[in-house]
Amino acid sequence: MIFKERDIRGVFEIILAPRNDNRGFFMRTFDETAFKENGLDRNWVQENHSRSENKNIIRGLHFQLPPFSETKMVRCINGSVLDVFVDLREGSKTFGAWDSIELSAENKKMIYIPRGFAHGFCTLTETSEVVYKVDNFYSIENERGLLWNDKTIGINWPIDTPILSPKDEKNMTLEQFKTEYKYISNK
């Protein structure tokens, strides 16, 4: 595994290293020692699997309020997605900034997103499956979302008219988030 910190502090791209032979491949997707050596020591408490049946679906941008905020480690095991994350952390120099990475079954990359981020993805293939670990339990009462096309954030999505859930159509803008919550505490 190769760990590369992204432009937004605390976010890491993780490049997996499969061992290929005539049968296929074997690869390690988690190694507690390697993660600790890179300062990414988390207690993963839940793993989720999302399957999307169409291209151009956007799921997100989701986050949970403290004390249920969560670190995520995301990878795509079938198809391809554009994974997007927005910094909402208290005191962050990059508050409100976004970044993205293509995750696919082919490129075998993962993204580690610390607590205090909104997260979502856009499906780039007809079928895609995303698996992600989290270090906190889901709380429906503390789940919130940012609007995918908020002009203040300015995410460069690959689609102008995505397929959205009714819930994601009603997510808040960054300005609404700042008015209501200000930031997500790192504590």
DSSP 3-state of 180: helix
Rg (CA), the chain: 16
Determine which helix (DSSP H) or strand (DSSP E) holds 109, and give its type and residue range: strand 109-113
C-alpha–C-alpha distance, residues 31 and 135, integer Å: 15
C-alpha–C-alpha distance, residues 33 and 46, integer Å: 19
Catalytic residue among 62, 112, 181, 183: 62
Catalytic residue among 49, 132, 138, 183: 132
181 is catalytic: no
The DSSP call for residue 57 is B
62 is catalytic: yes
* Catalytic annotation, residues: 62, 132
